Structure 1
Amino acid sequence: MSQTLLLVDGSSYLYRAFHAMAPLTAPDGTPTGALYGVLNMLRRLRADYVHDYCAVVFDAKGKNFRHQMFPDYKATRPPMPDELRPQAEMLPEMVRLMGWPVLVVPDVEADDVIGTLAKQGEAAGWNVVVSTGDKDMAQLVSEHVTLVNTMSNEKLDIDGVKAKFGVRPDQIIDYLTLMGDKVDNVPGVEKCGPKTAVKWLEQYGTLQGVMEHAGEIKGKVGENLQAALPQLPLSYQLVTIKTDVDLHTELVDGLESLRRSTPKWSQLAVEFKRLNFRTWLKEAEERMHEGNGDLFGAAHIGEQAALAEQSLSENVSDGLPQTAPAPSALNYQAITTEAQFAVLLERLSQAEAIGIDTETTSLNPMEARLVGISIAFAAGDAVYIPLGHTPTAAPEQLDLNEVLGRLKPYLENAELKKIGQNLKYDQHIFANYDIALNGIAGDAMLASYILESHLGHGLDELAERWLGLPTITYESLCGKGAKQISFADVALEQATEYAAQDADFALRIESWLKARMDAKQLEMYQHMELPVAQVLFEMERNGVLIDKNELARQSHELGSELLRLEQQAYEIAGQPFNLNSPKQLQEILFDKMGIPTKGLKKTASGGISTNEAVLETLAPDYPLPKIILENRGLAKLKSTYTDKLPEMINPHTGRVHTTYAQAVAITGRLASNNPN
């Protein structure tokens, strides 16, 4: 079954909704009509189009690369209306809460991001649906890419584009260039409307053909065409959607980063109440209590989702409610005195199973040090032992070594079952203190992966989905970016609530998910995923022994070969130049050496690209592009492996320790991080 990627032009729909919707306001007077219109559009999309991956893309603030090419680009556009501005600011976060990934990429437009994603999805063999009201997007339509407009219920495939515009999708750029775009202030041929553009393209095939035969076109319109000839190449570039935007920063895991997720019901309920979206508020509140319903359109996501939902519906029909029942009260306590710790040890001696979690100084499991340990005994009943907080945050703390020494028999007791969230990480933390965490009997992350491999498995998401409860987030306590503080600086009262909640929720969610598994899923969970996690822990702990001296020798060899290739390139070019400079390479290849540029890809600024694809096209016929490619390949080997790997050797073990992510891909494959 082919995957489907649903892409939404958020900026286009924001303006269309603003002009189409009746004026609405929140109780505090904030305009909400356009916001409501776009959210309603997304609701319909999620209901009408079955999709596995999705994104809503907005224009970034400020100018983009087209303004560098043509300073008057969009100069005639009026500023954003005052009543639309607050709605535009609220919209991205509201969309995220609805479970849609949101992308805002500087220096390009939403169209370019959508075009890039559409091409990537198409290259992966996926079906791509682009929801927009922008006619420029018709240039993206292909066998795998279609356009939809939820406001007009219009759908455009290849035939649809031809029927609507009179030209094929591959002629749309030529068509738009000839007409120009008054909205974006892109100059075209004066008095050239759709009928004239279609007529010329039917007769001459392409913009280039029209320009070559401009002298044959008589009358005033022919004179206008000849007058426009000098600026038409620039207009062509301005209306061409960029399809090679670098999205590595935004999409760390590639298209996998765009997997759809469950709406944040509790947070949406708060926002809907504030905005006075009463019908949606009622539905959101119902979903909070019912569980994983989809306010914005129920859709199966591939065979994995269908199987999971079938299993869940069978369990529901057996009388199991959609969300775990909440305890009548919470009992979260900080353990800071010897008397409290003695009581905790007594409880551990009588317990059969506990939830457990660690708070640490780092996400790197081999280097992280303990800040605290949380233990849950039952739903709503958990404790937190601060061990590494600053004196200001937690004035009273027990001695770390003494606590670990007395907890060690319980942590290493295989009879005392341990439940957690990604317990492989916590295993490493305890192993850093010479404690072997035994008795691992459950992991909420892996249980979720068994049931819903197509969704996310973070504790925050799981709590929303299966408990109907929001979590205290790390960022809400520590902040983010340059101003982020360490967890050791978080005040004890807040740290206790956060840490105890983690252990409590992991215990509740794992139990709840396990109860929803059928016999086959339970077998896979207990006899495949949990044991595999232990194998991966051993692999990560053992690390990979690499020969630092051999890598240094290879790095030196690569360096020598790179110098040789560099000198060879200089000889062919007839001068020294920076092999890593696209501008200098462009000048050498196409200006000085005169290599033909017809058919070669252009950059956003209009020059000929010197990316890998272009160089591979030229390499069979010209020696310099071949040398440049070889140089780039060896440089990557040197920087990524022979130079980098020795720097990643753990000074305590002498080995490189990667992390294997187990609950990532629907296919079951592993991912490796730091290093990959």
Structure 2
Amino acid sequence: MPKLILIDGSSYLYRAFHALPPLTNAQGEPTGALFGVVNMLRSTLKARPDYVAFVSDASGPTFRDAMYEHYKANRPPMPADLRAQIEPMLAIVGALGFPILRVPGVEADDVIGTLAVQAQQAGIEVEISTGDKDMAQLVGPGVTLVNTMTNTTMDRAGVEEKFGVPPERIVDYLTLVGDSVDNVPGVPKCGPKTAAKWLAEYGSLDGVVANAAKVGGKIGESLREALPQLPLSRALVTIKTDVVLEQRPADLAMRDADTDALRQLYTRYDFKAALKELDLSSLAGKGAGSAGSAGTHDTPSPPPPPVSHGESGSVPGSHLPPANLAVEGEYELVTTQAQLDVWLDKLRDAPLIAFDTETTALDPMLADVVGLSLAVEPGHACYIPLAHDYPGAPAQLPRDAVLAALKPVFEDASRPKLGQHAKYDINILSHYGIVVQGVRHDTMLESYVWNATATRHDMDSLAKKYLGYDTVKYEEVAGKGAKQISFSQVDLDTACRYAAEDADITLRLHHALWPQLERVPTLCKVYEEIEIPLVPVLAGMEQRGVLIDVDELRKQSQQLGKRMHELQQQAYAEAGREFNLDSPKQLQAILFDQLGLPAKLKTPTGQPSTNEEALEAIADEHALPRLILDYRGLAKLRSTYTDKLAGTVNPRTGRVHTSYHQGAVATGRISSTDPNLQNIPVRTEEGRRIRQAFIAPPGWKVMAADYSQIELRIMAHLSGDEGLLKAFHEGGDVHRATAAEVFGVAMEEVSKEQRRAAKAINFGLMYGMSAFGLARQLGIDRGEANDYMARYFARYPGVHAFMEATRAQAHRDGYVETIFGRRLYLENLQSRNQAHRAGAERAAVNAPMQGSAADIIKRAMIAVAAWLNGRDDAHMLMQVHDELVFEVRDDAVDLVREAVREHMQGAAQLAVPLLVEVGVGANWDEAH
């Protein structure tokens, strides 16, 4: 799972200021807080997160000040020595490459909360680096707090241990206790223990309020007197999680460091150790591309992945761009017909046309075009404004006339075109009846195929890495936060400088990246035969969308709520009393103290764990753990899917339109967001029922085509193991055949448990499962699991040989390859950290299979889409891992079923047959 680290910059600065002595540099400038912040960032840099943000409070009032005029009224003014260190801090943080977020009108907590929720929804692990207790309310599945000053981590159990309440009750807890620092009124005389006691007894703040009359003594009087102001206090301590932000979590990758700026800053503030490390890293040849973090790293970054023999000069990320690709460009604002005619002539003669759109929104299915940029030679580009509507905006060419003039060019497949994430622009132009043809190149995909893990593949990151060029950022032209304006309100000259640069830099990046790809024929083939042809296929799927039954989802939400209530009552009966099912502390008391169940797993603080794994471990010993697990599973289904999916229906089309990402997963897999349609659960009846809401229109059916055991078949192909090949060629149950081999029994004598063990080994080996992991999954001891694996490798020696050879090749070359030549570079193979090194080796074994499966289904999608081209009786709607989902007219079901099966099974020629199972139904669930 990718990781996002959110750094509470304001908390860092205050903590460092108060924890360190008042240091100064030679000029007498204060540096203590600055020094502390830089040192606290060291652990973040070492962690090498996929995404990171340094979030700091912006100046000026926030919505809380408007809500309560006395908010933070007790805080003394910021010390002058501390204020003087804010701008230098931001300069160093920015030079190190950290994205910095400062949003007016809200606090850093609100920005962090919003990003944390967005990341959770996108399947990104979140680590919040802070010392602020308010942040505990954000802890949840995949979200933890880390205090770099004390080097402690706080998960759900840690929150319960520290505060006596779970994360979902922290807001209630803070409301009752109040906050003297922020001047948030609580209940007078109500301390942490009293608040935790009330919440344990009454379940929530609302429960406390409802039972206020029952609370006796002076504290009861204080509670009742405080009741009128508790709603305000709750609003003040609640972190917003819906702040409108320009960046989403996936936009927050580390940038390359600015070593020149770092050197100046370190010199000015007398950070001698950091300066020495920076200079040493520069001498080691790292250059500006990676040396910035050396100012705070303990160990140098690993070298770029080695290049295989015969490919000198093609080490990903190591080449320098041609000098003419990093200079300032010349851009033309096109507002007259004469200018447009000149550019139309240029387009007709151009060997390659770079194009880009500017729009009103990030969602391509809701956005309208504002302008177009074009480039046909590096360093020169134009911007054609079409819908800038600010007061006093100069006259612009009519949008429809410009698009009509460009339509023949865009739709001419013989005119090669280039984009950066061209699928977005294809979708935008489709709203105006333009079907873009002839997209031969996409710089996002050139970078992705060249080295998927070297950098993020957005234009700003690519320009910095491959051109040494700093692009104009969106916030520089449109502003930030609440004051940000729509691009249609940006003045034309500023818009031209920003938008024309996009087309120009796209063309320059192509000139830097494409020659590198051409030197490696296998990568070139992956790019030209898989990734580029897939772009219009995915665009068509996104445009079509999928139909869902909103009423069915609402009904399921109600049914889930009813079933959760039933489980709650059953849990009360098993426990012999009522309790809060969401409270780990209460659950600990019932499971381990009252019922005396064994605590098989502990939290980091040594307390008995009540997480999913811990409850599964004792689920066979009492009914209550299983009831809690079932309750939690239903709660997640309801909150994540049945309650939310209906809200993603596009008001223009009445359908749900996901976004498919080609450049997000290192192994080549396609991912899905907004909404994610690839994570809808299928292992439980309630999870599968969600698929019943995915329907076809009247007169149509849903068709689902799924590869059967494709990664295991790829393992057989790559390993060439005779036993595994035989099992697939005989067409029987491969797990039963494996069990017969491993346990030395006849096929018909294989027991259910033996087949389960064989299946766990078959799939576990592909993901590097150890004997310990197998033992835990099967509920057997480690010695028995070792015996199973030894028998497996004895019967399938080719598998063992393949795994060993793959590890050796990965160590030798620094990468592994799929069947079709896609590469995955593995940085941690040489790590001194044994866990990191072992993880890289597991990835090395798995990547050829997972990546080959990704390549195969992409090839299948291209082939099926070509067959469907021009037909109006079937449409490809979704790609979900190894499955394709279609909408097929009733009278075409038989024809389409056979054609889809034929093309999917023909997407690769392996040493074993590919098997595709195709189902049809009125909804997605019925089609399985």
Q: TM-score, normalised by structure 1?
A: 0.62
CA distance in 1, matches of 2:647, 2:293: 48
| Cross-structure match for 1:97 | 95
Specify whether residues 497 and 285 from structure 1 end up closer, same or farther in structure 2 by C-alpha distance, changes over 3 A only.
farther
Specify whether residues 528 and 461 from structure 1 end up closer, same or farther in structure 2 by C-alpha distance, changes over 3 A only.
same
| Cross-structure match for 1:294 | 291
- Asked if 1:558 corresponds to 2:549, the answer is no
Does the aligned pair in 2 maintain the 1:419–1:441 contact within 8 Å? Answer: yes
| Cross-structure match for 1:416 | 415
CA distance in 1, matches of 2:268, 2:592: 64
Does the aligned pair in 2 maintain the 1:376–1:383 contact within 8 Å? Answer: yes
Paired amino acid for 2:443: A
Does the aligned pair in 2 maintain the 1:569–1:627 contact within 8 Å? Answer: yes
CA distance in 2, matches of 1:385, 1:547: 41
| Cross-structure match for 2:921 | none
CA distance in 2, matches of 1:316, 1:591: 56
Aligned pairs for 1:113-132 within 5 A: none
| Cross-structure match for 1:388 | 387
State, as a whole percentage, how many aligned pairs show the same letter: 36
1:330 deviation in Å? Answer: 3.0
| Cross-structure match for 1:232 | none
1:265-320 per-position Cα deviation (integer Å, ceiling 9, x unaligned):
687588679879999799899999976353544999789x5047999971599x97
Does the aligned pair in 1 maintain the 2:370–2:388 contact within 8 Å? Answer: yes
CA distance in 1, matches of 2:670, 2:311: 26
CA distance in 2, matches of 1:624, 1:277: 57
Specify whether residues 545 and 424 from structure 1 end up closer, same or farther in structure 2 by C-alpha distance, changes over 3 A only.
same
| Cross-structure match for 2:527 | 525
Equivalent position SS for 1:352: coil
| Cross-structure match for 1:333 | 332
| Cross-structure match for 2:370 | 371
Q: 1 or 2 for the larger relative contact order (CA 8 Å, sep ≥6)?
A: 1
Specify whether residues 496 and 87 from structure 1 end up closer, same or farther in structure 2 by C-alpha distance, changes over 3 A only.
same
Paired amino acid for 1:634: L
Aligned pairs for 1:291-330 within 5 A: 292=289, 294-297=291-294, 305-307=304-306, 314-315=313-314, 321-322=320-321, 324-326=323-325, 330=329
Where do 5+ consecutive residues of structure 1 fail to align?
62-78, 124-129, 141-172, 174-245
Q: Which moved more, 1:50-59 or 1:475-484?
A: 50-59
Aligned pairs for 1:222-237 within 5 A: none
Does the aligned pair in 2 maintain the 1:35–1:91 contact within 8 Å? Answer: yes
1:516 deviation in Å? Answer: 2.2
1:618 deviation in Å? Answer: 6.5
Specify whether residues 444 and 21 from structure 1 end up closer, same or farther in structure 2 by C-alpha distance, changes over 3 A only.
farther
| Cross-structure match for 1:75 | none
| Cross-structure match for 1:23 | 25
Aligned pairs for 1:45-60 within 5 A: none
CA distance in 1, matches of 2:642, 2:147: 45
Specify whether residues 111 and 313 from structure 1 end up closer, same or farther in structure 2 by C-alpha distance, changes over 3 A only.
farther
CA distance in 2, matches of 1:50, 1:558: 40
Does the aligned pair in 1 maintain the 2:592–2:598 contact within 8 Å? Answer: no
CA distance in 2, matches of 1:612, 1:431: 46
| Cross-structure match for 1:534 | 536
CA distance in 2, matches of 1:331, 1:448: 25
- Asked if 1:262 corresponds to 2:256, the answer is yes
CA distance in 1, matches of 2:642, 2:33: 54
1:176-226 per-position Cα deviation (integer Å, ceiling 9, x unaligned):
xxxxxxxxxxxxxxxxxxxxxxxxxxxxxxxxxxxxxxxxxxxxxxxxxxx
Specify whether residues 344 and 421 from structure 1 end up closer, same or farther in structure 2 by C-alpha distance, changes over 3 A only.
same
Does the aligned pair in 1 maintain the 2:420–2:506 contact within 8 Å? Answer: yes
Does the aligned pair in 1 maintain the 2:357–2:373 contact within 8 Å? Answer: yes
| Cross-structure match for 2:640 | 640
1:56 deviation in Å? Answer: 9.6
Aligned pairs for 1:477-488 within 5 A: 477-488=477-488
| Cross-structure match for 1:476 | 476
CA distance in 1, matches of 2:640, 2:40: 44
| Cross-structure match for 1:435 | 434
| Cross-structure match for 1:178 | none
| Cross-structure match for 2:685 | none
Does the aligned pair in 2 maintain the 1:42–1:296 contact within 8 Å? Answer: no
1:398 deviation in Å? Answer: 1.4
CA distance in 2, matches of 1:109, 1:648: 32
Equivalent position SS for 1:512: helix
CA distance in 2, matches of 1:288, 1:505: 26
Paired amino acid for 1:262: D
1:567 deviation in Å? Answer: 4.5
CA distance in 1, matches of 2:39, 2:322: 26
- Superposed CA RMSD in Å reads 5.9
CA distance in 1, matches of 2:451, 2:536: 22
1:371-392 per-position Cα deviation (integer Å, ceiling 9, x unaligned):
1111112122111111111142
| Cross-structure match for 2:664 | 664
CA distance in 1, matches of 2:467, 2:673: 30
Equivalent position SS for 2:547: coil
Specify whether residues 563 and 453 from structure 1 end up closer, same or farther in structure 2 by C-alpha distance, changes over 3 A only.
same
| Cross-structure match for 1:403 | 402
Equivalent position SS for 1:375: strand
CA distance in 1, matches of 2:48, 2:390: 51
Equivalent position SS for 2:85: helix
Equivalent position SS for 1:672: strand
Does the aligned pair in 2 maintain the 1:558–1:638 contact within 8 Å? Answer: yes
1:468 deviation in Å? Answer: 1.8
Specify whether residues 384 and 41 from structure 1 end up closer, same or farther in structure 2 by C-alpha distance, changes over 3 A only.
same
1:492 deviation in Å? Answer: 1.0
Does the aligned pair in 1 maintain the 2:375–2:381 contact within 8 Å? Answer: yes
Paired amino acid for 2:510: E
1:377-426 per-position Cα deviation (integer Å, ceiling 9, x unaligned):
21221111111111426331111111111110011111222112111111
CA distance in 1, matches of 2:471, 2:554: 47
CA distance in 1, matches of 2:613, 2:15: 35
Does the aligned pair in 1 maintain the 2:457–2:663 contact within 8 Å? Answer: yes
Equivalent position SS for 2:324: coil
| Cross-structure match for 2:193 | none
Q: TM-score, normalised by structure 2?
A: 0.47
| Cross-structure match for 2:496 | 496
Specify whether residues 567 and 362 from structure 1 end up closer, same or farther in structure 2 by C-alpha distance, changes over 3 A only.
same
Aligned pairs for 1:246-285 within 5 A: 261-264=255-258
1:332 deviation in Å? Answer: 1.0
| Cross-structure match for 1:629 | 629
| Cross-structure match for 2:85 | 87
Specify whether residues 343 and 267 from structure 1 end up closer, same or farther in structure 2 by C-alpha distance, changes over 3 A only.
farther
1:523-547 per-position Cα deviation (integer Å, ceiling 9, x unaligned):
2222222123233222222323334
CA distance in 2, matches of 1:289, 1:497: 32
Does the aligned pair in 1 maintain the 2:17–2:32 contact within 8 Å? Answer: no
CA distance in 1, matches of 2:310, 2:553: 51
1:361 deviation in Å? Answer: 0.9
Q: Which moved more, 1:506-515 or 1:52-61?
A: 52-61
Paired amino acid for 1:87: Q
Specify whether residues 285 and 480 from structure 1 end up closer, same or farther in structure 2 by C-alpha distance, changes over 3 A only.
farther
Specify whether residues 569 and 81 from structure 1 end up closer, same or farther in structure 2 by C-alpha distance, changes over 3 A only.
same
Specify whether residues 545 and 627 from structure 1 end up closer, same or farther in structure 2 by C-alpha distance, changes over 3 A only.
same
CA distance in 1, matches of 2:616, 2:504: 56
Does the aligned pair in 1 maintain the 2:97–2:292 contact within 8 Å? Answer: no
Q: Which moved more, 1:445-454 or 1:609-618?
A: 609-618
Specify whether residues 592 and 266 from structure 1 end up closer, same or farther in structure 2 by C-alpha distance, changes over 3 A only.
closer
